[in-house]
Amino acid sequence: MTEENLALEIRHVTKRFPGVLANDDVSFTLRKGEIHALLGENGAGKTTLMNVVYGLYTQDEGEFLIDNNVVEINGPSDAINYGIGMVHQHFMLVPVFSVTENMILGSEVTKGTSLDLRRARREILEISEAHGLEVDPDAIVENIPVGVQQRVEILKALYRKANILVLDEPTAVLTPQEAEDLFRVMRALTEKGVSIIFITHKLKEVLNVADRITVMRRGKVVGHTSPHETDQKGLAAMMVGREVLLEVKKAPAKPGDVVLEVANLTIEGERGLEVVKDISFEVRAGEILGIAGVQGNGQTELVEAITGLRSIDAGEIVLMGKKVPFENPRYLVENGMGHVPEDRHKHGLVLPYNLADNFVLCTYYQKPFAGQMLMRNHQAVFENAVGLIKRFDVRAPGADVPASTLSGGNQQKVIVGREFSRPLKVLVANQPTRGLDVGSIEYIHKEIVKMRDEGVGVVVISAEIDEILSLADRIAIMYRGKIVTTVDAKDATREQLGLWMAGVQPEAA
């Protein structure tokens, strides 16, 4: 091969965690101005490799070259100085800070001894305009939807003038439209000489934007390819090591009685804005209702209200014919509601707890997990965990490791395992496959359909039109806090859903 123009070269990196070989002699090259996709199953070691490059972890073996020179990266500030920017898989944003404060943290602009927030604000608006990534610099991060938070993350790297940009599953929280915008931004950046490492589980995107593709499995690089040498099926097989079904197989639904009814629900969000406006719908046993909508149109609040995490301002929720007391998650849990939350760190897991404890978060006080007197039945808790880890194929060294040490996708499987293993009447799944690899998506979709066939009423909220189309029996489209229309999945087309999600009003039929 001729002398290549490399922005970054990773040579023989090995990284071990207690009980896990996360990166096993990994080598990787990034050419100047290319988009290099890094693919692999959940837990393959992609994030770990990037964290090593970014200086968050220290490698056990191996070295890095930037612009063909060996460099020492001892911490994120070194990485930033070498022009490496990283958008982390899980947001690295301070929730109580404003967008501006988050952007400048660590690279503050000052005037005398004071922070110059006004100048920072102006610079942020400039960059955000230049790249078409719209943000409100004064918004408090915890009040803005995840999609916008992701935008802030990307801007953060651009603000630091990164010329090697690592995007660790940036599209996991984006809508197709937003993802398209991001790809445009990415292409524009590569034209300016920025090189991008792009991690994703969405094979379509990879084929769409990547120049080259590297696939990892169980800590090792298992192959290189490029979009014109392969297709989705080929990539999936390469990642998982077997054939993967990319479509859901399901029989027509046999809807039964109404299990969940939402009537005239209205929710005021922060600053007194109505985020959910007079929403009504019902879900029957044995059907899947898909709620499609662009992130931030009230789905988060709607789900939080249904699952007891948020108070409402008007309306009622009826579960199995009984009016639900508000803000009472335990009532819901005990009456057969399962919830796969959107934000797995905030509402899904207790990160410092081990897997076994996370698996019994809803049931720890019941038999068999609560033993005699005030004691716990550790054996039952662990047996439960071992069973679920096996059944849901969670990649972890054991049931006693903290949930925080799992890869993102495996954390999601822990939540899904916990919820699906309880006796359910209603399942509310908000972005259930976000961040999962194709093999796991196939598995979780199969499980959701199985739930439905066993007579559970399922609500799936997703910003992925494909996921909604392949899972749902009926589809409701949410826009600006309202359900604009509900259609039978048989009659829905991708294009039509896309238009409705973007706010085009349905024709009065």
Ligand X SMILES: Nc1ncnc2c1ncn2[C@@H]1O[C@H](COP(=O)(O)OP(=O)(O)OP(=O)(O)O)[C@@H](O)[C@H]1O
The residues that touch ligand X, with contacts defined as CB under 6 A, are 17, 20, 22, 40, 42-48, 89, 395-396, 405-410
Of the candidates 97, 200, 187, the one whose C-alpha atom is nearest the C-alpha of residue 144 is: 97
For ligand X, give the closer residue by CB, 42 or 358.
Answer: 42
Cβ proximity to other proteins, 97 vs 353, nearer residue: 97
- How many of the other CB atoms lie within 10 Å of CB of 485? 15
**Residue 40 interacting entry, from other proteins, ligand X, Mg ion, none, C-beta within 5 to 8 Å by type:** ligand X
Q: Which is nearer to ligand X, 434 or 452 (CB)?
A: 434
Residues 6+ apart with CB under 8 A from 289: 281, 283, 457, 458, 459, 460, 472, 473, 474, 475, 476
**Do the bridges between strand 258-268 and strand 314-319 make them parallel or antiparallel, or are there none, so unpaired?**
antiparallel
Decide which of ligand X, other proteins, Mg ion, none touches 410; Cβ closer than 5 to 8 Å per partner kind. ligand X
Q: Which lies closer to ligand X via its Cβ, residue 40 or residue 290? A: 40
Containing H/E element for 197?
strand 195-199
CB of 17 to ligand X, least distance (A): 3
- Quote the least distance from Cβ 312 to ligand X, whole Å: 34
Q: Which is nearer to other proteins, 20 or 416 (CB)?
A: 20
Task: Tokens for 5, please give them.
Answer: 């123009």
Please provide the DSSP assignment of 154-184 as one string: HHHHHHTT-SEEEEESGGGGS-HHHHHHHHH
CB of 406 to Mg ion, least distance (A): 10
Cα torsion angle, 422, 441, 434, 395, sign: positive
C-alpha to C-alpha distance for 231 and 203, rounded to whole angstroms: 8
- Tell me the closest approach of the beta carbon of residue 48 to Mg ion, in angstroms: 8
The binder of 94, among ligand X, Mg ion, other proteins, none, by C-beta within 5 to 8 A per type, is other proteins
Toward ligand X, which CB reaches closer, 42 or 128? 42
**431 contacts which partner out of other proteins, ligand X, Mg ion, none, CB within 5 to 8 A by kind?**
none
CB of 57 to ligand X, least distance (A): 8
Could you please report the per-residue DSSP string of 376-427?
A: B-HHHHHHHHHHHHHHTT---S-TTSBGGGS-HHHHHHHHHHHHHTS--SEE
83 binds, among Mg ion, ligand X, other proteins, none (CB under 5 to 8 A by kind): none
CB nearer to ligand X: give 48 or 150. 48
Find which of other proteins, Mg ion, ligand X, none residue 88 binds, CB within 5 to 8 Å per kind: other proteins
Choose the one of Mg ion, other proteins, ligand X, none that binds residue 97, judging by a C-beta under 5 to 8 angstroms depending on kind.
other proteins
Minimal distance in Å, beta carbon 43 to ligand X? 4
Partner from ligand X, other proteins, Mg ion, none contacting 115, C-beta within 5 to 8 A by type: other proteins
Catalog residues that contact other proteins under the rule CB under 8 A.
17, 54, 56-58, 75-77, 80, 86, 88, 91-97, 101-102, 104-108, 110, 113-115, 156, 271-274, 480, 503-505
Nearer to other proteins, 58 or 280 (CB): 58
Q: Least Å distance between CB 340 and Mg ion? A: 19
- Tell me which residue has tokens 């920072």: 120
Angle at 413 between CA 243 and CA 340, to 5 degrees: 120
Listed in sequence order, the residues at least 6 apart from 402 whose beta carbon sits closer than 8 Å to its beta carbon are 351, 352, 353, 354
- Spatial CB neighbours of 220, under 8 Å, sequence gap ≥ 6: 24, 25, 26
Min dist CB 149 to other proteins, Å, is 12
**Residues contributing to the site for Mg ion (CB under 5 A):** 47, 89, 407-408
Q: Minimum distance between the CB of residue 105 and other proteins, rounded to whole angstroms?
A: 5
Residues with Cβ within 8 Å of residue 338, at least 6 apart in sequence: 419, 420, 422, 424, 426, 427, 428, 429
- Give DSSP secondary structure letters for 204-261: HHHHHH-SEEEEEETTEEEEEE-GGG--HHHHHHHHHSS----S---PPP---SEEEE
Smallest separation, CB 471 to Mg ion (Å): 24
395 interacts with, out of other proteins, ligand X, Mg ion, none, CB within 5 to 8 A per kind: ligand X
- Residue with Cβ nearer Mg ion (149 or 200): 200
Contacts of 83 (CB under 8 A, 6+ apart): 66, 161, 162, 163, 164
- The smaller minimum CB distance to other proteins, of residues 86 and 444, is found at 86
Q: How far apart are CA 369 and CA 378, in angstroms?
A: 7
**Binding partner at 398 among Mg ion, other proteins, ligand X, none, C-beta below 5 to 8 Å by kind:** none
